[in-house]
Amino acid sequence: MADQESSMAKYEYFRKVDAVCDLFQMAIATGANSPGELDIPMLMQVLPEYHASLVPQIHPEVIESILKPKNKNTIVAHMSAVKRFVGDLASRIDEGQPVIYNFAVTTPEIFLGMDMIPVCYELLPIYIAATFVGGVDDDIDTTEDEGLPGHICSAQKAPNGAIKSGKMPLPDLLVKSTVPCNSSNMMYQWAQQEYGGELILLDSPYYANRRAFDYYLEEWKNMVKQVEKTTGRTLDEGLLRHHVELGNEQLSYLYRLQELRRQVPNPDPGMHRALDVAALYLSGVNREMVEYTKICFEEAQGRAERGESILPAGKKEIRTVWTWGLTPHMIYLPDWLEDNYGMSFLECGLSFLPADIVGYVDTSSIDSMIEGLAWRSFHMPMGRTGMTHADVMIEDFVGIAKSYHADAAVFSGHMACKHSWAVAKMLGDALQEQAGIPSFKWETDLLDTRFTPHASAKAQLAEFFETLI
Ligand code: SF4
């Protein structure tokens, strides 16, 4: 391998995400609390050439948000975890590990237990879209140039385009639960057809009952056998337990944060929710990601004990539940809404995991760990509420609205999630009737910055929140 280009240098998505981690950490390490306090000319002089070339492309609003005292420690911790993950992933690929892409409802522990580092197909574009103006728009266009329509999901269009352009490695294996949408199922099949490798599908039942889970568990066991056969690796009980324990510990802080966000005032900044989605996709991957969730929890707990708000002094809190997703290419949006309108972010449909139902993975045996991971996957965001009776999503969010004392709901409808648009009206009505709160629905796209431009998104949300002040 000595004379070959390393994966970190070769694949732009790896290199760019790694550089984002460095840039955010360096900016925060200066001690600046706002962009005006940053000595940009001095920083540009000390930055490596590649890093410096990225600086002009970064959203100014993102810099403003990450430097705030309420956000900076958690951002540093999150970026440490991501840097370690991307570095380890690139090294393992250099050493000859198969390239494994998994869909977002499957956390990585099962593959880590086979001594392989997978990458969630939808993960790396989140960081790039969150950081840079125009984020992954080029990669979305690359996929659409192949004849795929604009109205399918950018969460797959972006990585598909990145592989086509050589910014991400070709797959050896794609692992896809067939929940929640036909769009994502077909996009994985298209990726396999275009780029090769093997596609392993976990047939995901429509229902959410025990019989359905037993069927899904059998699918999980078959998936483990297929991955072992394809890769020649074997699931190691000790290694699996190590990563499952890390994942359990990580979730313990996530669950406690969910409890803390029920308090008035909400002590937890909303910008972290997008990072929590990514952390969930990397559950159990390394100790650093546990530290990220731990710091989020400890900082929020400290504020709760002191009765401190995350809002500017004197702002009335508008406690808001985000009933579908958030918008990763506007990662600064919750922070902007906190400062300007007093919005506080309670939960969202892409990061909420019901603690009383999902709980922890039982580490007593290899079978119990496989079952526990399958159970979590069965209830992951997009999986739990995306393809079953609407009652599940409605009961989850009405329950959150009541127990978190919500004042309002926002449905940030991702353009491609056709199924969620169908439930949005029923959900809004239920929130009004059962929790007494209004819902605002707006159209966005998870990663495509052009679908609803930032200025338009801000104007629409501002109009809604102004009615609640
Ligand atoms: S559920 Fe929505 S966000 Fe998830 S893959 Fe399908 S279209 Fe994309």
Whether the predicted pLDDT of 430 surpasses 60: yes
Q: What local confidence, expressed as pLDDT, does residue 3 receive? A: 61
Tokens of 413: 């409808």
> Is position 91 within any domain?
yes
> Is position 376 within any domain?
no
Question: Cβ(437)–Cβ(427) under 8 Å?
Answer: no
The Å distance, Cα 184 to ligand 1 centre, comes to 6
Write the residue with the smallest CA distance to atom 3 of ligand 1. 417
Neighbours of 155 (CB within 10 A): 29
Q: Give the percent of the chain with pLDDT over 90.
A: 96
> Is position 345 within any domain?
no
Pocket perturbation via mutation, ligand 1, pick of 183, 190, 387 by most ligand atoms within 8 A of CB: 183
CATH number for the domain harbouring residue 146: 3.40.50.11890
Task: Give a three-class secondary structure readout of 293-351.
Answer: HHHHHHHHHHHHHHCCCCCCCCCCCEEEEECCCCCHHHCCHHHHHHHHHCEEEEEECCC
Whether the predicted pLDDT of 327 surpasses 90: yes
> Is position 335 within any domain?
no
The Å distance, Cα 301 to ligand 1 centre, comes to 33
The Å distance, Cα 4 to ligand 1 centre, comes to 37
Domain count, the chain: 1
444 lines ligand 1 (CB under 6 A): no
pTM score over 0.95: yes
> Is position 425 within any domain?
no
108 lines ligand 1 (CB under 6 A): no
> Is position 23 within any domain?
yes
Write the residue with the smallest CA distance to atom 4 of ligand 1. 382
Nearest-atom index, ligand 1, CA of 416:
7
Confidence of residue 386 (pLDDT cuts 50, 70, 90): confident
The Å distance, Cα 416 to ligand 1 centre, comes to 6
Domain containing 14 equals 7-237
pLDDT digits (tens, 9 = 90+) for 106-155: 999 999 999 999 999 999 999 999 999 999 999 999 999 999 999 999 99
Whether the predicted pLDDT of 98 surpasses 80: yes
> Is position 63 within any domain?
yes
> Is position 423 within any domain?
no
pLDDT digits (tens, 9 = 90+) for 295-310: 999 999 999 999 999 9
414 lines ligand 1 (CB under 6 A): yes
Asked whether the CA dihedral 276, 280, 281, 283 is positive or negative, the reply is positive
The Å distance, Cα 20 to ligand 1 centre, comes to 25
Write the residue with the smallest CA distance to atom 2 of ligand 1. 417
The Å distance, Cα 231 to ligand 1 centre, comes to 28
